[in-house]
Amino acid sequence: MSAAGVRARVRAEMTEEIKTVARRHLASDGANLSLRAVARDLGMASSAVYRYFASRDELLTALIIDAYDAVGAAAERATEGVTGHTDRLVAVGLAVREWALAEPYQWALIYGSPVPGYQAPSDTVGPATRVIMMIVSVVRDAFEAGAVTVGPPITGRYADELSAVAAQLGSEIPAQLVGATMATFVHLCGAVSAELFGQLDNTVEDDRPGFFEFQMRGAARLIGLPETRS
């Protein structure tokens, strides 16, 4: 490896290290991540961090992109070795939930309240769509295999928008199916956030995975996927 290669590698490692420490700080500071605190933990001057990230917001953006990529990758891995369209969908949901439980602060960063004064740049858009894209692809497979009982057609402006989304995906999926698929994603995010943000406290305490799967199977039923036993 050339000398320049070494320098680049060391730089990449340092960048990762800053992000790792910053992720730890998400737990205590949430999105008011403090650059100085991160630098302090790394034993370096706060000004040195600016060699790696032009500003606090840029560091935040890097963390957001990493988080979207991590949960997206977890969703994509989830269907490996799983047969049956419904079970594949449920597997994606469970994988997302498990990632979120392991990384609650990263979950809050991407699916929680927006950070005041922070505007996400366009680099985040691609990674942000990985989970929904995975869900769409499971449903599309099922649809193309004839495994979906498509519900009654829908009308109205939102139906047109959903058709436009289908067209954008280059797919023949009908609008009501796109709608049910997006509803599943919305419900999934809601179920994870409800659990993490405390809305389930004092009601479902013990068997949260069970309740989560119950919800995912309900969502699958609305999509028109066949019911299976877990």
Partner DNA sequence: TGTACATCAGTGAACGCGCGTTCACTGATGTAC
- How far apart are the C-alpha atoms of 5 and 189, rounded to whole Å? 41
Q: Which does 190 bind (CB under 5 to 8 A by kind): a second copy, DNA, none?
A: a second copy
- How far apart are the C-alpha atoms of 150 and 225, rounded to whole Å? 9
Site string for DNA, 5-44 (x = CB under 7 A): -xx---x--x------------------xxxxx--x--xx
What is each CA distance from 83 to 87, 89, 138, 140, in whole angstroms?
7, 10, 11, 15
Residue choice 41, 57, 76, 213 for contact with DNA (CB under 7 A): 57
CB 54 within 8 A of CB 66: no
Q: Is 2 in the site for DNA (CB under 7 A)?
A: yes
Site string for a second copy, 199-218 (x = CB under 8 A): x--xxxxxxx-xx--xx--x
CB 23 within 8 A of CB 59: no
Q: Is 113 in the site for a second copy (CB under 8 A)?
A: yes
- How far apart are the C-alpha atoms of 196 and 93, rounded to whole Å? 15
Q: Which does 90 bind (CB under 5 to 8 A by kind): a second copy, DNA, none?
A: none
Which residue, 15 or 193, is less far from a second copy as judged by CB?
A: 193
CB 67 within 8 A of CB 106: yes
**First-residue to last-residue Cα distance in the chain:** 51
Which residue, 43 or 170, is less far from a second copy as judged by CB?
A: 170
CB burial class (10 A; 0-12, 13-18, 19+) of residue 122?
A: exposed
Size of the site for a second copy (CB under 8 A): 55
Pair of tokens at residue 147: 């495994």
- How far apart are the C-alpha atoms of 90 and 230, rounded to whole Å? 9
Interaction with a second copy in 145-184: which residues (CB under 8 A)?
A: 154, 156-162, 165, 179-180, 182-183
Q: Is 68 in the site for a second copy (CB under 8 A)?
A: no
Q: Which of 100, 95, 102 is nearest to 76 (CA)?
A: 95
Q: Is 229 in the site for a second copy (CB under 8 A)?
A: no
Nearest approach in angstroms of CB 157 to a second copy is 4
Pair of tokens at residue 81: 């070795």
Residue choice 30, 44, 50, 69 for contact with a second copy (CB under 8 A): 30
List contacts with DNA (CB under 7 A): 2-4, 6-7, 11, 14, 33-37, 40, 43-48, 50-52, 55-57
List contacts with a second copy (CB under 8 A): 27-32, 108, 111-117, 120, 125, 154, 156-162, 165, 179-180, 182-183, 185-191, 193-194, 197-199, 202-208, 210-211, 214-215, 218, 221-222
